Amino acid sequence: FFGGADFEVTATSPDVLSPARAPRSNTFADAARFSAPSNVDAEQLRNDVRSEIRALRAVLASTRSEAAAPTTNVNDALARELEELREMVAELGADRELTGKKKKRLAALGLEGNAERTANRRLKHVKGEPTDDELRTAIGSLVDVAEWPIAAEGRSLIALVGPTGVGKTTTAAKLAAKAIIDHDKTVTLITTDSYRVGAREQMARFADLLGAELVVVEDRPGLAAAIDKSRSDVIIVDTAGRGPTEPDGIETALARLKTKAAFKRHTLLCLPAALRELDARALAKFFAPCKPTALAITKIDETSSPVGLVHASIATRLGVAVICFGQRVPDDIAPATPERVLGAVLAAGPSEAPASAPRA
């Protein structure tokens, strides 16, 4: 589409994100408080049951020495109870083994915290190690998908918010290209990023190649004026992003922005696919004032465990609308579907090979 033009997308490393994949030592310790009994409790329960079995055996042995007729019924009852207790001991061991297998499989996918606990509960009925289909059903219940924003009828205002370095500018360019190529819509790109070196030049190059209008704004009044002035079908606002210690910026003002024209508003919270569970909760709280309506999950190609799809959806209680899996504009972006989301997450498991581009 761009005649072989090359793009190099640079971004500041996110300050608020933790390294991907390696579990923190306390993550599963926290999860254990909400899951099955501890090994110590389970061992104590088994010892209690064994003691009761020994006591019943002693009673049964003593009753066998008595020849009275009623003892036959007593012996039968004791034998039945003894067998039931034996089965209980066997089930305790089996349950512990099965729970371990489920946890191991979920841990292999990278699920943590509430996501891991909830998925484990969904698999409670499963006997043995869960299959891919059973995992698909359990994890599928944890993630919602949302509307592909550029396909909406009428005029759309799409704002991209999120931490620095997550790929908002590239995502804005990809969405603009898809709106123009796939939906034959006119697009205005608005950038508010005056901090990152080369950010405006990068967006200007995208706009020039796409044939889109580009507007640079410095403040909130300028943003409102640019939106009111535009006559495009789709307006895409690329914000600068900010860290947890920075004051509210334009992205927060977008939630309260009043415009003269009527738009269908989409505020996409952009988060990386390698997002850890604790970071997902922190970012969900931090960007809540922006009132995001859906998620855009980026950098799926940069991690072997894209569980940020699950962690972000649970933490924000939002659906995933957009998935990005590479730097190419406009190729490496797609609408989120259950099949694409689950395919990406399950590709991190031991039974499926990772794929850079989620299947349709």
Locate 284 and state its tokens: 């969900």
Shared domain for 83 and 165, answered yes or no, is no
Do both 87 and 195 map to the same domain? no
Residues 195 and 158 in one domain: yes
Q: How confident is the model at residue 263 (pLDDT cuts 50, 70, 90)?
A: confident
Q: Which of 336, 338, 310, 316 is nearest to 325 (CA)?
A: 336
Six-digit token string for 33? 């408080």
Q: Are residues 158 and 268 in the same domain?
A: yes
- Indicate whether 99 and 153 sit together in one domain: no
Angle 263-266-271 (CA atoms, 0-180°, nearest 5)?
160
Supply the pLDDT for residue 126.
79
Place of tokens 């044939």: 211
317 domain residue, yes or no:
yes
Identify whether residues 83 and 167 lie together within a single domain: no
User: Distance between CA 269 and CA 291 in Å, rounded?
Assistant: 9
Lowest-confidence pick of 64-68, 145-149, 177-181:
64-68
Q: How many domains does the chain have?
A: 2
Is the domain of 191 the same as that of 290? yes
For residue range 186-237, list pLDDT tens digits in order. 999 999 876 666 677 888 888 888 899 999 988 888 888 999 999 999 999 9
Does one domain contain both 114 and 248?
no
Examine the domain organization and report whether 118 and 156 are in the same domain: no
**Which residue in 184, 360, 351, 152 sits closest to 262, CA to CA?**
152
Mean pLDDT computed over 284-311: 93
Q: Is residue 63 part of a domain?
A: yes
Does residue 163 surpass a pLDDT of 70? yes
277-286 vs 113-122: helix crossing angle, rounded to 10: 120
String of DSSP letters for 6-25: ------PPPSSPPPSSSPPT
Q: Which amino acid is at 128?
A: G
Question: 170 lies in which domain range?
Answer: 149-346
Residues 222 and 82 in one domain: no
Q: Tell me the whole-structure pTM to 2 decimals.
A: 0.68
At 119 the pLDDT is 86
CB 313 within 8 A of CB 276: no
Residue 8 lies in a domain: no
Tell whether 281 is covered by a domain: yes
Shared-domain flag, residues 185 and 75: no
